[in-house]
Structures are given as structure tokens and as C-alpha cells.
Chains A and B, each alone.
Chain A
Amino acid sequence: MSDILDLSAAQAIAAIDAGELDPADLFEAYRAASAAEDLGALSWVADAAPADLAALREQPLRGLPLAVKDLFCTEGVPSQAGSKILEGYLPPYTATVVQRLQDAGSSLLSKTHQDEFAMGSSTENCAFGPTRNPWDTTRVPGGSSGGSSAAVAAGLAPWALGTDTGGSIRQPAALCGIVGLKPTYGACSRFGMIAFASSLDQAGPFARDVTDTALLYAHMHGRDPRDATSVGLPEATVLPTAQRLDGITLGVPKDVERDGIEPGVRAAFDAALQTARDLGAEIREVELPHAEYGIAAYYVLAPAEASSNLARFDGVRYGLRTEAPDLLSMYTRTRHDGFGPEVKRRILIGTYALSSGYYDAYYASAQKVRTLIRRDLDAAFADVDLIVTPTTPGVAFPLGSKTDDPLSMYLEDYFTVPFSLAGVPAISIPCGLSEGLPVGLQLAGPAFSENRILDAAFALEGALGFDGSVARKGGAA
């Protein structure tokens, strides 16, 4: 075996079962790589393999290491959500999704950096420093789950957990040349995820390929009595096998060409559509007349929910406290000192949108636009099996290039947000390069269509033949 870090998770499991690989050696190889990383991807790395690794290797995931986004609570392990207000926080319990994966045989290897409270598209809004893209370390990895995507792309973990509220799994997966799945809303329990926007937040997997994505996802979802919005999927997740797309109709939004896509991204997207045709898919135009309003609606709803969720950070029960002579000053100063600029911006937008006199104009209108976007997608999915778009309008951008213009950063989510607002599942797979950087292809389907999405993504992945090993070898340069 050349290098055990080159094995996909499925290959590593096969090697363990064949007696050719010891899970302890695999964990140690990843642990050493993680401890030496210089991308700023990881907020915590385990000192050693879990004491129960021998028992974990009997479980389906065979003790394989797992990287986990910082906002998942992990008992006794720092869980800071990228925020100074939670610096050093050690949760007394573990998030359901992480617990499920540990029960299925995952070993907790590392926690990953993220935009503070998942607010951002570049992982630059992290109180503990930015994460860099392994394809080009002068560029961002995307966000908010940028530490997880960079870690998987750079070979610091075989796979990782992220969360997606408006695109925070799909966009960093696209920018780092890996696979990321945002499940149907409710499929994965939100218990133990530090909340951003509760009606949108979903946990999901990152992996190097579609098979590993399905394998990790299969052990994540399920109803949880501790999350009243969780739902059971109607079918188990099956590993994808499709080689062809015969009989599958893919819808391309009618206005996709006018939406400010970089030429290289457009070329890679068009080539992927041709590959889909060659595999037997029918490509049809679909109308999503309200998709262009998605960003505006999202940037009312998500900040409104965030302003409410983040009220809990008040310096009383956990996290930072700034001492002050009276209670109100203690609250306001703690929050001033503990939150970064983007979090403050969103708290202000959300509080404004919910305040007396503005509620109907902003919050109620945004909820109605959400209805229109759902209807658009319902109509489209009556006509086509899946909708395909580029995941992002451009490739990974240079660090610092969008930090002074919040609106341009928000437009990163242009193609991902409509599906988030409707709560339907979507995946991003790498479909080629532009300027030497990865381009993502997004496939979205109706609620609970994860198996169909994974199958189509698997067939396309095989035909597209994207080589992600470039980033693991230290980037294109």
C-alpha cells in the first residue's frame, strides 16, 4: 500500500476488512498530518486514538477518523463555533449527529474552523484566524464550513461534518474540489448544533467522493426525540451504483446564463451538461421565476432567526463575560466584546427586520417569498427529476477580496439559497477546473430524494473523472 492517506474511506474499510490495514495506524497517520497542518483548518486535534478504538473497529465505520465542524457540541472537547464568545467552551454533552457517527464506529479526530456561528462564505469571519484553500493558499476555502472542506481536500481527514444554512456545505465543497451534501431539512437532528437559523440549519457530510458521502450520510440521519423538527427518511440510504443517466431528466434554470457566472465556471458547467447528455440524461429548461429573490428573502429570515438564537449569549451561563457595574451593561459589553463584525451586522439586520413597524415589510414578506420559491420548485420537480446549476458563480476568491463588501459575499449563495429556503436536498460535486481551481456542480431534488441525487452524482462523477489528489499533494502551484 503506497500511502494510507490516499485511500478513500470505502477503500480504507475494505483494507481493514482484508486485514491489510490497522485502524490505529490509519488514525495515527491522519493525526500526525492534522497536527502538522498549516492551512488554519483545525481548531482542535486529538492527542491519541479513542481508548475504545478496538470496539469501534467492529462497527460499520471501522474506527475511521472524523473531522467535525466546531459548532457541533462534543463532550469535553472545545466547541466554539468560531466565536470569541465561546472560546474554550467545553460542552457537557455531544450533538446527536456526532453521537450517531461515533456509535457507528467513527473516531473523533479533529474539530474544524468555521465562520463565526456559520455566518459567512469564506471562513474569514473566524475569531481564531482564517482557513486557507489547499488548492491555492492565497485563496479562501469557502464557508462557513471552510475548515471541514479544506481538511478533507488537503487529506487531513477522510471525511468531515459540516452544516448548511444557505450554502455552507455546498459552496466550500465546490471551492475545495470535494463532495458536500445538504440533506432534506429535518433529516439530521439539530440537537447539539450551536444554532444559527433554526428553520434552515442542516448537518451534512463532506467527502472526497460520492460513495464516501453516501456512506457517512447513511449513519447520520434519523428522527431524534430531542429535536422536534427531525424527521425519519422514508428509505435507508443506499450506496450509489448508477453508471448511466438514462430516463433521468435534468432541469437547468432558464435564467442561469444571466446570473453573473464567471466564463470558466460556465464552460465547466456546460461540459458537465454534455457529459450528462452522453450518459443518457435529458436536459430541459425549467422556470424558477422567484429564485432571484432568494438572497433577499434569506438575508431577512436567517438574520432574524439568528438575532433570536444568539440572545442566549449574555455572559451568564457559559462563555465570555465582560465585567460591568450593572446587569444591562454586563450584557451589552459582553456581546460587544464577544461577537465579531459579521455577527453584529446580522444581529442588527435581524433585530431591525423583527422590530415594530418593519415586521410586515421585511420578515412577513420574506416568508411569503419563501412560499413562492417552494411553489416554483414544486412545479419544476413535477417536470424534471433533478435541477442542476453551477454551485457558485465563481471559483475560490483571494483572501480579503470580499470582506469589505458584505453584499458581494452574500451573493456567493445565489445558486444554493433557493433550495435551502425550500428545505430540499442538494449536493455539490467537482466538475472541472477554471484557472486551475475547482468548479462545483449542484444537483438538487425534491424532499427525501437523497438516494436519487447520490446515484446521479455518482454516475456523473465516474464520467467526469475529476482528480482531487492535486490539493492533497500540496496544491496546483
Chain B
Amino acid sequence: MIDREQVLHVARLARLELSEDEVQKASGELSKILGHIETLSALDLSAVEPTAHVVDIDSALRPDVPHESLPREVAFSQAPDVADDGYRVPSPQA
């Protein structure tokens, strides 16, 4: 069971504000989903290696040669707020 405090803790970790209504809903929904996920605990996994990646590959590397990057004005073109050749954000302290 995921209670209200746990929902708020996880939302803080995820940098996600939730409305009061969303907090209430999340508690019930997450409990139900995690209840299903807990069926995994029926398995003895002590001797099993984890799989993080499915295909045995050697990384597709490219030669390390300098090349042109995205032009600055193109990189900035989709940003909500740009000033002095940088992304402008509010101060960390209000």
C-alpha cells in the first residue's frame, strides 16, 4: 500500500508537482499496480543474473574527429527563454 506521504516523497524525487486530487488518485492506483508487480516475489531469483541489455553488441562508435555542431541560434530556437547567449531560468532562491 502506497500512502499519501510516499506519493509526495516520490513526486518530490521526480520534480513533479501534483494537485490534491492527483495525490489522492495516485495512492490507490499505484497500490493496485505495485500489487500486480509484487507477483514477482513468488519467484526465487537469488541465483539469476540480471539482464540490462538484450543484444550482445560492441558499441557502434564513430571516429573521434571534430565536426560542426548545431549552430547556437538553432539550438536556442526552441527554448522558452534565452538571454545573453544562454538559457535564462529563474533564480534558485525565490
Enumerate chain A interface residues (CB-CB to B < 8 A).
89-93, 184-186, 199, 223-231, 290, 293, 295-297, 299-300, 307, 311, 314-321, 323-333, 335-336, 339, 341, 344-345, 347-349, 351-353, 355, 361-362, 364-372, 374, 406-407, 410, 421-423, 447
Contact = CB atoms under 8 A, between A and B. Distances in A.
A349 to B, nearest CB: 6
A325 B90 contact: yes
A228 B16 contact: no
Contact of B33 (A349, A355, A361): A349
A229 B39 CA distance: 31
A403 to B, nearest CB: 12
B43 A311 contact: no
Contact of A447 (B38, B43, B55, B59): B55
A299 B33 contact: yes
Interface residues of B, number: 56
Given A229-B57, A327-B90, A367-B52, A345 B43 contact: no
The 3 closest A-B pairs by CB, nearest first: A423-B54, A367-B50, A225-B62
A57 B82 CA distance: 42
B39 A296 contact: yes
15 contacts: A186-B57, A229-B53, A296-B38, A297-B40, A321-B80, A323-B90, A329-B17, A330-B89, A336-B19, A348-B14, A364-B50, A369-B43, A372-B43, A372-B45, A406-B33
Contacts of B40: 293, 296-297, 300, 362, 365-366, 369
Contact of B17 (A325, A336, A367): A336
A344 B49 contact: no
B32 to A, nearest CB: 6
Contacts of B68: none
Contacts of B43: 290, 293, 365, 368-369, 372
B30 interface: yes
B76 to A, nearest CB: 9
A90 B61 CA distance: 28
A229 B91 contact: no
A319 B78 contact: yes
Given A228-B61, A352-B2, A318 B78 contact: yes
A229 B55 contact: yes
